[in-house]
Amino acid sequence: MDLRNRISSHYQNGQEIYLRNISIDCVIFGFHENELKVLLLHTLYSNLWALPGGFILKEEHMDDAADRILLDRTGLDNIYLQQFHVFSKPERSTKEINQKFLKNLGLELEESWMFERFVTVGYNALVDFNKVKKLESDIFSSKCEWFNIDSLPDMHLDHQEIINTALEKMQLDLNYHPIGYNLLPEKFTMPELQKLYETVLNKKLDRRNFQRKIIGAKILKRLEETKKGVAHKAPHYYKFDLKNYQTALKVGLGFDL
């Protein structure tokens, strides 16, 4: 089956297997060496960049749908996704817009379930993008790439707004839940942890205040080993206390950065 027929079959048969009027979009942030990026797909139907997204099967849990969609569209698996917002502006996806997209694929439909109003549920995650060794595009896209959060390309529909909202939610969550595990080496210095928080928050933090609050949260274990080859006083290495870290994920940290 050629590409056009595969896409045509997906759109025409979708109403039999998918829930109508609701979709999912995944915002996957990537951090590595003080860079924050987001994962995007280059669409064949709009020639713009978009978030990995898709539809929910009629008998499928929404969380399972998010995992499946991310795997199908990018090849990413075993990512801890969290639901963060519902996007429901009436004008976000209209019949005219979707007819234009289908026409770009060589499909002209007067009526389709795709032309109805859609709300989309946003899911987000933060991963170490350097550990993602292979990304895949699907039948709806030509590329799957990481983009720096400060230099995003032209975006499909309201996906720029979705990314902005996901970033705001992640920044707000830093006041309640820790980050760093699986993003930093097994042992790291306090300045390295602070730089992670500063990169995500996009602001400078007071060194003493940050250290006092993080140590007070009891999610770190200080090691006797210090970092070698630094010009000033050698900082100690730390590692996460995994038990306390997991507890903090559940009950929160309770401080404002």
pLDDT digits (tens, 9 = 90+) for 33-47: 899 999 999 988 888
Q: Determine if residue 84 is left, alpha or beta; phi over 0 gives left, psi from -120 to 50 gives alpha, anything else beta.
A: alpha
The CATH architecture to which 188-251 belongs is Orthogonal Bundle (1.10)
pTM over 0.85: yes
Tens-place pLDDT, residues 8-26: 666 666 778 899 999 999 9
Is residue 1 predicted with pLDDT exceeding 50?
A: no
Q: Which of 45, 11, 155, 145 is nearest to 92 (CA)?
A: 155
Q: Kindly indicate the confidence band of residue 166, based on its pLDDT and cuts at 50, 70 and 90.
A: very high
Could you give the CA distance from residue 181 to residue 242 in angstroms, rounded to a whole number?
A: 8
List, for residues 55-106, the tens digit of each pLDDT value. 999 999 999 999 999 999 999 999 999 999 999 999 888 778 777 777 777 7
- In the numeric block, the tokens 């109805």 are attached to 116
Assigned CATH topology for domain 3-173: Nucleoside Triphosphate Pyrophosphohydrolase (3.90.79)
β strands within 58-140, DSSP E: 82-87, 119-127
Taking the C-alpha atoms of residue 98 and residue 116, their distance in angstroms, rounded to an integer, is 9
- All structural domains of the chain with their residue ranges: 3-173, 188-251
